[in-house]
Amino acid sequence: EVQLLESGGGLVQPGGSLRVSCAASGFTFGDYAMTWVRQAPGKGLEWVSSISHSGPNTYFADFVKGRFTLSRDNSKNTLHLQLNSLRTEDTAVYYCAKERGAYPRYGTDVWGQGTTVIVSS
């Protein structure tokens, strides 16, 4: 069974940093692109970032460019989203999702339960 388990969320002050991670199991992690999507309180789903299966290709929403970085360790079946220069508007549940293909833009098929990031002083 394909499973994705996010971790690393928490409370951080504005301007601070946090790393959220996604542990994958049940599939050959290195064969698939991965994506992060977030949902702010009371809002809809919002795409954050995606990465190709082997990692060199990353894509970011304009509102996180230059602040967030995305990496993966295929030997450990783990995805990492580094959140820097955090703003109150980054408060959200962050979901990781598996893509259907080696590169993004094939659509996602399985999502994790999410990890909550709260940016507040």
Partner 1 sequence: DIQMTQSPSSLSASVGDRVTITCQASQDISNYLNWYQHKPGQAPKVLIYDASTVEKGVSSRFSGSGSGTHFTFTIISLQPEDIATYYCQQYDDFPLTFGGGTKVEIK
40 binds partner 1 (CB under 8 A): no
Antiparallel, parallel or unpaired: β 78-83 and 68-73: antiparallel
DSSP characters over 96-110: EEEESSSSSSS-EEE
Check: CB of residue 33 under 8 Å from CB of residue 50. Answer: yes
Q: With respect to partner 1, which residue has the nearer C-beta, 62 or 75? A: 62
Q: With respect to partner 1, which residue has the nearer C-beta, 27 or 59? A: 59
> What letter does residue 63 receive in the DSSP assignment?
G
100 binds partner 1 (CB under 8 A): yes
Binding residue for partner 1, selected from 30, 47, 102, 118, defined by CB under 8 A: 47
103 binds partner 1 (CB under 8 A): no
Measured between alpha carbons, how far is residue 22 from residues 27, 46, 69, 81, 118 in Å?
14, 18, 14, 9, 18
Q: With respect to partner 1, which residue has the nearer C-beta, 44 or 75? A: 44
Question: Which residue ranges make up the site for partner 1 (CB under 8 A)?
Answer: 35, 37, 44-47, 50, 59, 61-62, 95, 97, 100, 104-114
